[in-house]
Amino acid sequence: MYKCKEIIELTSKHMETSLPWYTRMEMKAHYLMCKTCNRYAQQLLFINKVLGSFERHVPTKNCQLQDDAKQRIAKKIRQVKETTE
């Protein structure tokens, strides 16, 4: 049986790749016994869905910063470089 720390890692990994069926079954058994890990898995799934829908609605083609924003960023970078040198 997996410990909570291992379940957390497996839950995150399962969002990215497919896990063997026996690992998924052990995870489900752990979720039934552990409310904390179950809640973590539900929250991670929710965040994953929200971010996925956000990515679909954000236009990524032809995204450009305005010139004044570029200048502000360049100015901040110069300021940071000056203070660290």
Asked whether the CA dihedral 52, 6, 30, 19 is positive or negative, the reply is positive
Average pLDDT, stretch 17-41? Answer: 96
The tens digit of pLDDT for each residue in 39-81 reads: 999 999 999 888 877 766 666 667 788 899 999 999 999 988 8
Q: Where are the domains of the chain?
A: 4-60
CB count, 10 Å around CB of 39?
11
CB 30 within 8 A of CB 46: no
pLDDT of the residue at 82: 84
pLDDT of the residue at 64: 80
The two structure tokens encoding residue 26: 């052990």
pLDDT of the residue at 20: 96
